[in-house]
Each structure stands twice: as structure tokens, then as C-alpha cells.
Structure 1
Amino acid sequence: MGGEYVRRISVGEPQPAFLKAGMYAKERLRTRSLSGLGRLLDASQVWVVLLCTGVAAGLIAAGIDIATNWLGDLKHGYCGGAFYLSRRFCCLGLEAGETCREWVPWRAAVGAARSGYVVEYFFYIVFSILFAATASVLVGTYAIYAKHSGIPEIKTVLGGFVIRRFMGAQTLIIKSLGLCLAVASGLWLGKEGPLVHVACCCANILMKPFPSLSKNEARKREVLSAASAAGISVAFGSPIGGVLFSLEQLSYYFPDKAMWQSFVSAMVAAVTLQFMNPFRTGKLVLYQVKYTRGWHDFEIIPFAVLGVIGGLYGAFFIRLNMRIAQYRKTTIIRKYPITEVTIVALITALINFPIIFMRPSPSALVADLFQECSKTTEDPLGLCVDKTAPPIILLLLSSVLGILLASATFGLQVPAGIILPSMAIGALYGRSMGMVLQAFQRTHPTSWIFSSCTPDVECVTPGVFAIIGAASALGGVTRMTVSIVVIMFELTGALTYVLPIMIAVMLSKWVGDAFGKRGIYESWIRFKQYPFLDNREDPVPDVAVSEVMTRTEDLIVITEQGNTLAALDALLATQPYKGFPVVTDTRDAVLVGYISRSELRFALDQARRGGGAGDDTECVFSSPAAVAGSPFPMTPRVRGDAGVVDLRAWMDATPITLAPGASLLLVAGLFQKLGLRYVLFARHGVLQGLLTKKDVFEVLNGEEEGEAAGSDSQTAELVGMIIIDGSCTE
């Protein structure tokens, strides 16, 4: 690697997600200055932010649910008594089968009795396009960061990098409004992933009044990990699943206290959502099912088949979605994102309306597919009729069309999640398999296979297969395991079927991993070239670190003596690097330590204000004898007649150091498992070079055009507005 290239990628190292606040001298100085009550108040700040984040996430999620339902029903008609009410609230209190006279469909509103189907089809298409295009315009005009899911970016942030202005107030507003419009448009997308982004935006905004959190990247990322759990909690009504989702999918480092913080944040968010009760059901469980029958041993085989299908679906969906994204990026389509959204919305509306299984929202569809057929159960989709062949064929057709539409939708310039569409697709093919098995059992009730079935009692429950199919599809796309099982249990309350869900999820992950280790979120991280170093199993080049590290002659170093305060100020003003090795002198280069840019800047400012140092004051990183004072002062100040500022306390005197002959595999493992931001290399104490996390990322992912991983790079995928770097502020 050439010197210029090495220097470019070594500019900005990421802040490690695991780094404790006390490891910074600046943080130690701040905490030592606090009294007993001050320390208590300082420690309570994180809990104040988490509690407020949970409440805010619950309130916003409830508002999104209410607005989405009203906008979605507006495609079919309006409430004559109160235009602002959705159909559910307009017809609230009516008995099953009773006609709702307050609700006015569009065919009645325009007085078109004979051509009513055409009129409703027309209004459905018009509102679908209007909602989708409006969401795209809002995102493109006011907050480009609000598009897509947001989870790949959150994983990158929690992995130790900063995406500036990604979680601001404007992004929060546009993400929430755009999510309401995008979901209501009927596009095959969900709100679950974007709600994680919404919750993290709330946490980021609420941290602003607390500098000890907002100015400390390590503590900030712990709060964001907990906030992401609140997002899943309000998306599914699944607080425990939210904690596990943050642990399994999002967090790069998850200490014990982060688990407790995530639990509290998810619980508060769930309590707030239930208190708001947006659907007036009084229940937190979204798709509660009450099955009157259990499952039988012979059903293990079709459950396992569903798991295999889920893995195949996940692998196919990821490849198809990535192909579409690559085509969108490399053709003229990328210049007209709003037009693309409009065309996709038009095609989706044209397909959705005629097919009964595609007309409802994915959430309503999943709820209907999960239900058991009984005399008291409503059957708006006709799943409980005796003629099974037409529904089965239509279910499979809807599943295939859903895959195609979701692949084209996930990646458009609108807020979009993939969790709920995948669940809907899996529930469609799962329900169809359950109906096939049910029909076969009814035709051959005396077969030895069905010997465990009770006579005159329905043996097979197709709704169970819908749940298993939904879990398998979600596992195939995201490659999650434990969190999916818990989320499905909390979604449905069907504890009896945890074992079949576990079997299906396990097989879906195995089959999906056979075609590629990356899930949909990791695939998008790689596609956008975000500097995320994941704990993957891909082979690492068997080379020595000396071949890829930034060598000493290409580094900007600081000598332990001979620097003035003005010289160090000039160094910070002219060099954009995020840290500097400290050596004895430039000729021998014996390693003394490493000082980060933020620590050096803060120390110099303290020396000017509190120590009375001037531009000509000497700054040293040497032993106590050189400055005639007590070692490791916490406040830099002028010492002795010569006027010397001791900066040793602000330097990391024991940085992680390896021999330059170490293998890249070892160093990559240290970066992945310990969350390091840099590693220094020395031989017999002499500095030989430096390697940052971004260096390793570049080596493992190769040099590609497009989004660069350097600290000064701009991500072209987001119109050059999101700057990814390792700085300490956003």
C-alpha cells in the first residue's frame, strides 16, 4: 500500500463503542470535580434520557399507528360523522355483522352504484400514488437521512463511527411523517425497522442537554443501544424481543449495564404504548391467537420444510434486492427517485386491489392469516371456506408477487422496513401449506400418519403454519434466531408453538447461511460501503501487518519534548488526524504513548485558561524529573522557572502494541472482538507503524469506487450529505 493511500485512510479512526468514560483524562477530570450529590445526578442522567426516550417512542409509535390507519382507510372511503376517524373508530361499538352506516365508501360518495368497483379502484390508485410520492418528496427535500430502514446506519454508528446529522430533529419529523404516508400507500414495506431509527433519534435529541452523554461517544452509543430496543418494543409490542433484537442484531458491544438499560427503555416504551392504546383493544399483543388445539408430532416435518423454504426465500430475496439496488445505482433511475417511487406505487396499487390477500396492509394481513377458523372468528379474506383450492393458489400467487414487490420497494427514497413484509410473505406460503395438509388429512383421516388425531376434532390448524412460515421468512432475511422466537411468541401469545418456531428458525438460518453469511442489513452495509467491521467468518488475507500498516515515515508524530503550545495548536489546525503517536524524537522514534486529537485540544485549552500558559510555553510528555513536579497532574499548568506544561496525564502511555510481524488475522480479531480504534506496532520499543479500524476495513473489503471510508469522505449514496468519521461530535 502506498504512503499517500495509507495516510488518507489513517486520518480518522473510529471511537470504540466499548470505551468506558473513565478512560479519558478529560472525563476523569470532570468526574473527580463532582461532589457526592453531583455524582448521583450525573449517574441519573442516563436513566432520565432512557425513560424519556421510552415515553417518546411510545407516543410517536401510537401516533404513527393512528395516522397510518386513517390514511390507509381513506383509500377506501371516509367517516361521514367525523372525517378524521378511521373505519375502526367510525364503526366502534357495532356488533359483528352489523352494517356501519357512518362509513361512506367512495362508490357511495360519488353516487356510482353500477361502476362502483371501478370508482373504488380509481381512488385506491390515486391515494396510493399520492401518499407514496408525498413521502418521497418530504424525504428528498428535507431529510435524505430519513429514507430506507435506518438499521444499517444504526449498526454502523454502534460499531464505532459517526454519521453526522443522521439522528437530528428534522430527520425524526420527516421519518415519522414519511412512515405514515409510505405505509398507508400500500407499498410492500413495514414500519418496524424505521421505528428503531425513530427511537434512536429521540434518544439522540434528549441527550443534547446533557454534555456528559452527548459529548461522550461511548456513553452515547450505550444509550442508543437501549433506545433501539425501545423501537422494536413499540413496533411489535414485544419488550423482551426488543432487548434481544438490540443484542443480536444491532449492538457491536453489549455490556451488562446495556442489557439493563435496554430492558428499562423497552419496558417504558411498551407501557406507554399500551397506555395510549391506539387500537382500543386494551392489549399489548398485536396478533393474539387463541388456538383450541395443540400440534402433533407428524407436523414436525412440514414445520421443518417451512424452515427450509424460509432460508431459500431469504437468500433469494437478498440477492434480488441487491441486484435491483445495484441497477438503480448504476443507471439513470438514480437521478429520478421520486418518479421511481411513483411508478412502483402505481404498479403495487394495480396489483394489490384486485387480489384480496394483497389489498390489506401487511399488518392486517398477518393478523388474519394467524387466526384459527371457528364460528366466532371473522373471516374477511375467505380463508375458512370449504373450497380450498382457489384460496391456496391465490395465497401462493400473493406470496410470489409480494416477494417481487418488496424487493423493488426496499431501497426506494421512502422510509421502509423489511420485517413485516417478510412476515406477511412467510405467513402466506405457510398458511397455504397448512391448508394443503388440512385438506389431505380430511381426505385420509384414517391414515396411520394421522393416528394421533382425535376423531371428530379438527386436526390441523393452518394458522399455526402461518406463524411458523412468518418466523422462517424473517429468519431467512435477517439471519436472526433467538430474538425472532421471542418476538413471535410475544406477538401471538402462542407459547405452545415455541418449539416448532425454534426448529423453523434454526433451519432457515442454516439454509440461508449456505448461500451467504450476510443478512439483509449486512448486505446493505456492504452495498453502501459503510465502514463497519463485523464479526464475520470471511477469510482474512494471510499477510503480515507490516504489509498494510501505515509506516512511521508516513505518520505525523509528536516528540515528547521540544514542542511549544503554539506549535501544537498549529499541528491541530493543519492536520486532520484524530490522534498522534508520541515518540522520543523523530530519528530514534522510541514509542512513548498516544494522544487523541480531542484530548490534546482540551489539554491545550485548559493550559491557556487555567495554567496561564502562552504561545512560547514548552509542552512535554516526558518523565516527572523533566518538569520538576508531581507526576500526572490532572490540570495542565506551567511548572518551574522555564515554564513547562506537563501533558503526560492526557496521553495514553500504554496503547495496544504488537510486533509488526503479527498476522492480519490476529489484528482483525482484536478490532472485531475488543472494539479497538487503533493498534500501534513497535520493535524493541521503536515505533514501526500504525493500523486503524478503517485500514482493516479497507483491506478486508477491497478498494471500491463510490462511498469511501475515510474520515473526510462523503457518502454518495446519501447525496454527499452524511459525513462518516471518527470525530467526537456530530
Structure 2
Amino acid sequence: MRDFAEDEGHDRNDCTDDATNSYRRRVSSNACPPPESEGSGVRFCGDVHCVATSPDAVGSLDLLSQKYESLDYDMIENQLYLEERKRTAYTGVRRTELIRWVTIFIIGVLTALTACVIVVFVELLSRYKYQKLKQFVDRCAHSDHPYCILVPYGLWLAMNAIPVTLGSALVTYVAPIAAGSGIPVIKCYLNGIKVPEVVRIKTYFAKLVGVVLSVAGGLACGKEGPMIHCGSVIAAGVSQGKSTTFAKDFKVMQEFRDDREKRDFVSAGAAAGVAAAFGAPVGGVLFSLEEGASFWNQTLTWRIFFCSMVSTFTLNLILSAYHLHPGQLSYAGLLNFGQFGPADFNYNIAELPLYAAMGAIGGLTGAAYNYLNHRLTVFRIRYLHRPALKVAEAATVAMATATIGFLMIVYIRDCHTEVKENTVEYPVRYQCPEGEYSVMGALWFNTPEASLRNLFHNVEGTWRPESLAMFTVIYYGLSCWTYGLSVSSGLFIPALLVGAAWGRLVGIGMKALFPTQDWVSPGKFALIGAAANLGGIVRMTISLTVILIEATGNLTFGLPIMITLITAKWVGDMFGEGIYDIHIQLSSIPFLGWEPPYGASNIYASEVMSSPVTTFKACEKVGVIIDALESQSHNGFP
């Protein structure tokens, strides 16, 4: 204020009308979007909330909530800060930097340990579940009793409903912010929005236990998305050296207790989660850059890459020992695409238009998925907002999944000879001759990750086109119904599985058209379809390309994957936004995008401010400022 007064010829204590008017234009304690046209059902109240006055307005993309506060990422260089910097010796700076790198290392190790816990428990629970179901189904294959098959059906219902109900109750009643994949809320946090309880320790445990129960319960979901949230929570907790949930302060890491430092560590934790989920350390760095952080620098890139490498290596080391191959380092992440042969990646320039066309199909299917899920989420916001109803819906979806899988196994008689090239962990021989197994049973009696590997690597002729097409349509609907439930679940695996299914159908069609061509490989088209479908839903390009390249372990197929993802994004963006952006808007979080919306430059402050406007003078007493801040509900100030 000294410079202002001296330059303008005013006394420092002279609060002029011009200064007051300037602050009137800049500071509003009651900013709200402009009123909608009459009949829209939306009413914007003056000083408390923006309220929907009709059911049609609930779930609108035009409403913002005022319950969120902003994180302070700017460095405040006041006199106290400058004096403290002068007192800090160079040895103190080096000590702080060393502690920072040690903290990054600990975050990577703990994120990998979390991934190990998830993958081991999902594997153990799924193995017990599907072995029991296989025993009962095979027993009925040799039984003459017409209602024998109802026994494994009832057991399947119970084995789906019980863990999903427990997981949903944990999320709904303990940590509601742990629902879903967690990527949208972490994206908001890194954008500078303080989402309540997003990085609490109770959120971590609800996420960890919930995703194990969701996947073991047979929902159409994956465990990769929640790993990103878990890594972020670990980073936030370790870097602060305290726990708000347990009200415990360990008196360590106190030099990192500001929003700026915490944000950088959370970025590293999110990248470590991606690296642990997909075995893709470079993809983790690019994911944090593309989808997460709004603030970036070169030093942060190196730290995040180090954290991702530590997470990948630690997970690799532990899982190799768990699978009785210590030191082999062949288990890079939670998601394993399996080994693709050289023939799977042979392609020429003439195939690129076909991959672009598949990308366009993925953009269309992704846009339809996002639209349907948006309408379903609006329905949930309006009518299923009570906790008991949320748990009941999750249990209903779990039982519906078991019922649909049971009906497809019973009524679709698609059998295939057992061959060593096909990896079938739980072959079901219901209604199949000796030496054959039900391919529908192989798809349903498995985790989604294992079914995805089967679609990539099983030999030609494993599925009939009509049975695979039916599975594609049904699983597409189930995955759309599942995403948004009050459970901890991921989107990546079901999206990849649906895309791999219709991509394999394309491969079957191409093989029928060109039976003698060596470049036609169903597994290759399944991979392209998986990339196209996932890209059309989430609209990621750079990071998803690198993640898929690292997951397949082959760089030569990078160009087809990139063309597919870019086309899917272009086509999908013509119809709407990605699924994460949609859910951010449905949560009424005031997320600030990279670019302002079209026509925003023509909007004046007076058009979005309510009246009366709360203002500050250019020179104001501290007590007046405190009273205004305590009495007003608005949380965003210029």
C-alpha cells in the first residue's frame, strides 16, 4: 500500500472512493452464477447457496457448491518469511532437500506395499470363490436333477452380494469420498480445490478394503483407479507427519506443512499409484502432468519419476517373491496384459486407417457410455441419496451381475476344446462334451483382468461371434451401471474389457475377409479396441498411450495406439466431455479448466455478483476483516 499512496500522491491512510470502487469490483462475498431463465427450475440465492427449486435442476452441470475452499499454492514472501530465509543456513537447505527425497522414497515403497495387499487379497478371495463355484457347477454337469444348477446360482449370489454389501457399507458410512475410482477428486485437489477428507487415513482404509471387496464380489470394476487415490493419500499423510483422523502429530516433516509442498507430494503419490497399477513409471509421470497437476516444474518431474520407479521396482520385487520367483522382476504392476508375440504387432501403413476407424467407434461408444452414466448419476442424486439406498443398490448390482453371468453360461452353449495356448484357470464343463469347456464360463468365472488377458491371447476360434457380441453388449451395460455406485471401484479394466471384446469381433471379421493374410491377428485388434473404448470414455491421450505401451512391453505398436486414442478423443469430444470431468461437474465442484468457456470474455463482474455486495476499503481494520470473513459463507476471494 505504501507504493500506491506515494505514486498517486495520496496519504497512506486515505481510503479514497476510487480504491473502494476498485475493491467493490474485485471482492464479493456472494458470488453466484447468473440467474437462469424463467422456468429453468434453478434459483440462485443471495448469500448462502445456489439452490435447485425443481427436480429437473438436481444434477445439473450448471450448479456450483460453495462448501469447497481453495488451497493456497502461492508463496507469500512477507517480511517474516524473508527474515526466516536469511536465518536458514545452507546446511539447513540441504537437510530439507535430503528429507524431501527420503519422503518421496517412502511414498513409493508404501504405495507398492498397498498394491501388493490389494492384488494378494483379490487373488486369494477370487480363487476361493471361483473354485467353489466350479466344483458345484461341474457336479451338476453329471447330475440328472433338473434343479441342481440352482445351488451354485444361489452360492454365486451370496458370494457376490455379501462382500459388495460390506464394501459399500464401509464406503457409504465411514468415508463417502472413497466411492468410485478417486481420480476426479484427486484431479480437483491438484487443481487447487480443498475437497473435504479426500486425503484422510480413513479414506485410505475404506479405499483399500472397499476395492478388494468390490473386485472379489464380481462387480464390473477394476482395482487400478483406486490405487491412484491410495497413493495420493499415502503421500499426503507421510509428507505431513501427522494424522487428522487419529488426532496424532508425530512432530516430523514440519517443514512440509503447507499446501504447496503437500500438493507436490500428492502429485508424486498419484504417479506412484499409476506406476503400481500398470507397471508404467513413465506413464505415471505423464498422468500426473496431463490429468492432475495444474502446477509443474522440472524439479518436480524428476522427483515424481523417482517415486514412480521406486513404486514399480518394489512391487515387482515383492510379487516376484510371492509367486515363488524371487528376483525375477516379471510382475511390474497390478494389471498384466501378458506376453504378446512378434506376429501380434506386425502392421503396415495400410492398416492405419482401420485403426483410426476403430478409434472413431471407440469415441462413439465412449460418448454413449458417458451420456448413459451421466443420466444414471443424476437419477442417483435425485432418488438414491440415502445411505441405506446406496448400499442396497450396490448389492442389487452385484446380484444382477451374478444372475446375468449365470444365464449366459446356462443358455449360451459355446464350447471350445481345451488347448494349452488358452489359459483357463477355472474351466467350466457345464453342457459341454468331455475335453471341452464353456467359453462363457471362462469369461465370467474369472477376475476382469484375467478375462482381458484371455481376449488378448486366446487362439482363433475360441469364441463364436454371436456369443462374444452378446457378452460385449451386456458387459457394456453392466460396467456403465456399476460406475458411480457407492463402492470403491475403478473404470479402466471394464472399459478395456469391453473394448477388447468388440475389438476381437473386428479381428474375427477381418480374418473372415482376409483368411490368408498374416497381419490379421485377433489379439492385435482386441488391444486396439481396448485402447479405443477406454480413450473414448476418459479422453486421455499422451499418458494413456505411454501406459498401454509400457503395459504391453512393446514400443513398435505405439503409432497405432496413438492414432486410435487421438481419433477416439476427437470423436468423443464432439459429443461431450470425459467421464471424470462429468462427475466433477455433477459433484458441483468449482473446477477451473485449462481454458475459459466460449464467450467468457464478454461476461462482466456485475453480471455474476449478487446484491448487496460485501466490500473492503483499501485501508481496513483487522477486526472488520475478521468479522466479515466469519459472517460470510462465500469461500472464494480474488
Task: Name the TM-score, length of structure 1 as normaliser.
Answer: 0.67
Give yes or no for the alignment of 1:364 onto 2:450: yes
Matches within 5 A, 1:483-502: 483-502=543-562
1:164-183 matches, cutoff 5 A: 164-183=196-215
1:347 is displaced (CA, Å) by: 0.6
Question: Residues of 2 paired with 1:492 and 1:174: CA distance?
Answer: 31
User: Residue 147 of structure 1 contacts residue 415 of structure 1 at CA under 8 Å; is this kept in 2?
Assistant: yes
User: 1:524 — aligned with what?
Assistant: 583
Q: Does 1:308 align with 2:360?
A: yes
- Are 1:505 and 2:565 counterparts? yes
Distance 1:554 1:459, change over 3 A: closer
Deviations 1:500-549 (CA, angstroms, capped at 9, x unpaired): 11111111011101112x21101101111111111146313313345446
Instruction: For residue 166 of structure 1, report the CA deviation from its aligned partner.
Output: 1.8
Change (3 A) 1:26 1:462: farther
Give 1:339's match in structure 2, choosing from 383, 386, 392: 392
CA contact (8 A) 1:438 1:459 kept: no
Whole-angstrom distance in 1 between the partners of 2:353 and 2:390:
45
Does 2:100 align with 1:58? no
Q: Specify the code of the residue in structure 1 equivalent to 2:492.
A: I
- CA distance 1:133–1:552, shift in 2 (3 Å): closer
Q: Which amino acid aligns with 1:105?
A: Q
Q: Against the structure 1 CA distance between its residues 726 and 207, is the aligned structure 2 distance closer, same or farther, given a 3 Å change threshold? A: farther
C-alpha separation between the residues in 2 aligned to 1:247 and 1:213? 25
Distance 1:187 1:11 in 2: 32
1:206: which partner in 2?
238
**Residue 425 of structure 1: how far off its partner (Å):** 0.8
Q: Which residue number in structure 2 is paired with residue 138 of structure 1?
A: 170
1: CA distance between counterparts of 2:176 and 2:69?
Answer: 26
For residue 287 of structure 1, the aligned residue among 333, 337, 340 is 337
Bigger-Rg structure (1/2): 1
TM-score by length of 2: 0.76
**Residue 319 of structure 1 pairs with residue 361 of structure 2:** no
Taking only aligned residues, the RMSD between alpha carbons, in angstroms, comes to: 3.1
Residue 631 (structure 2) pairs with residue 554 (structure 1): no
Rounded to whole Å, the distance in 2 between the matches of 1:519 and 1:411 is 14
Q: Helix, strand or coil: the match of 1:495?
A: coil
Q: Give the counterpart of 2:187 among 146, 155, 163.
A: 155
Q: Cα distance, 1:459 vs. partner?
A: 3.9
Residue number among 438, 460, 466 corresponding to 1:393 in the alignment:
466
The farther-off stretch of 419-428 and 294-303 is: 294-303
Counterpart Cα distance in 2 of 1:11 and 1:364: 42
Change (3 A) 1:550 1:32: farther
Corresponding residue of 1:100: none
Q: 3-state SS of the aligned residue for 1:412?
A: coil
Q: Would you say 1:539 and 2:602 are equivalent positions?
A: no
Give the distance between the partners of 1:138 and 1:256, measured in 2 at CA.
40
Kept in 1, the 8 Å contact 2:361–2:532? The answer is yes
Q: Hey, what does 1:716 align to over in structure 2?
A: none
Unaligned residue ranges in structure 2 (runs of 5+) = 1-24, 32-45, 49-65, 242-251, 410-439
Between the aligned partners of 2:365 and 2:625, the Cα distance in structure 1 is 54
Q: Residues 486 and 54 from structure 1, CA distance in 2 versus in 1: closer, same or farther, beyond 3 angstroms?
A: same
The structure-2 alpha-carbon separation of the partners of 1:142 and 1:493, relative to structure 1 and needing over 3 Å to count, comes to: same
8 Å CA contact retained: 2:219, 2:482: yes
What is the CA–CA distance in structure 1 between the aligned matches of 2:78 and 2:308, rounded to whole Å? 30
Residue 71 (structure 2) aligns with = 15
Report the AA paired with residue 500 of structure 1.
Answer: P
Mapped to 2, the partners of 1:121 and 1:12 lie a distance apart of 46
Q: 1:260 aligns with which of 302, 308, 319?
A: 302
Quick check: 2:511–2:520 contact (8 Å CA) kept in 1? yes
Give the CA deviation at 1:485: 1.2
Deviations 1:125-164 (A, max 9, x none): 2101111111011112222221111111111111112123
Deviation at residue 14 of structure 1 after TM alignment: 2.4
Distance (whole Å) between structure 2 residues aligned to residue 124 and residue 3 of structure 1: 57
Query: Conserved in 1, the CA contact under 8 Å of 2:281 and 2:312?
Result: yes
Counterpart CA distance in 1 for 2:67 and 2:565 is: 42
Cα deviations by residue, 1:320-360 (Å, 9 ceiling, x for unpaired): 00000001111256551111111111111111242333442
Residue 222 of structure 1: how far off its partner (Å): 1.3
SS in 2 for 1:414: coil
CA distance in 2, matches of 1:369, 1:487: 19
User: Equivalent residue for 1:5?
Assistant: 30
Counterpart of 1:639 in structure 2 is none
**Where do residues 39-78 of structure 1 align in structure 2 (5 Å cutoff)?**
39-77=93-131
In 2, are the aligned partners of 1:107 and 1:120 still within 8 Å (CA)?
Answer: yes
- Supply the AA of the counterpart residue of 2:543: S
Confirm or deny that 1:242 pairs with 2:289: no
| C-alpha deviation, 1:200, in angstroms | 0.6
Q: Determine which of 471, 478, 481 is the counterpart of 1:405.
A: 478
Find out whether 1:186 has 2:218 as its counterpart: yes
1:726 to 1:284, Cα distance in 2 relative to 1, 3 A:
farther
Q: Retained in 1: the 8 A contact 2:240–2:254?
A: no
Summarize the Cα distance change of 1:122–1:272 in structure 2 as closer, same or farther, 3 Å threshold: same
Alignment check: 8 A CA contact 2:68 2:194 kept: no
Cα shift at 1:307: 0.6
Query: Identity of paired residues, percent?
Result: 29
Which of the numbers 530, 535, 538 marks the counterpart of 1:475? 535
2:28–2:637 contact (8 Å) kept in structure 1: no
Contact 2:616 2:625 in 1 (8 A): no
* Pair 1:12–1:232, CA change in 2 (3 A): closer
Out of 386, 401, 423, the position equivalent to 2:496 is 423
Contact kept in structure 2, 1:200 and 1:227, CA below 8 Å: yes
Match of 1:640 in 2: none
Provide structure 1 residue ranges, at least 5 long, that are not aligned to the other structure.
79-102, 374-382, 446-452, 579-708, 712-724
Q: Secondary structure at the match of 2:464?
A: helix
Which AA in structure 2 matches 1:196? I
Change (3 A) 1:197 1:13: closer
| Residues 308 and 128 of structure 1: CA distance in aligned 2, closer, same or farther (over 3 Å) | same
Q: Return the structure number with greater relative CO, CA threshold 8 A, min gap 6.
A: 2
Alignment check: 8 A CA contact 1:352 1:358 kept: yes
Secondary structure class of the residue paired with 2:218: coil
Counterpart-to-counterpart distance in 2, 1:410 and 1:11: 25
CA 1:154–1:3: 2 relative to 1, 3 Å: closer
How many correspondences in the alignment?
Answer: 525
Once the two structures are overlaid, the 10-residue window that deviates more, 160-169 or 228-237, is 160-169
2 CA distance for matches of 1:154 and 1:550?
Answer: 31
Is it true that 1:223 corresponds to 2:265 in the alignment?
yes
Check the 8 A contact 2:282/2:546 in 1, yes or no.
yes
Check 1:31–1:573 CA distance in 2 against 1; reply closer, same or farther (3 A cut): farther
Alignment CA distance shift 1:11-1:419 (3 Å)? closer
CA distance 1:413–1:25, shift in 2 (3 Å) = farther
1:630-641 equivalence runs, <5 A: none
For residues 75 and 27 of structure 1, do their structure 2 counterparts lie closer, same or farther at Cα, with a shift above 3 Å needed? Answer: farther
Checking the alignment, whether the CA contact within 8 Å between 1:362 and 1:424 is kept in structure 2 is yes
Whether the 8 Å contact between 1:399 and 1:425 is mirrored in structure 2 is yes
C-alpha separation in 1, matches of 2:140 and 2:110: 41
Aligned equivalent of 2:39: none
Distance 1:557 1:490, change over 3 A: same
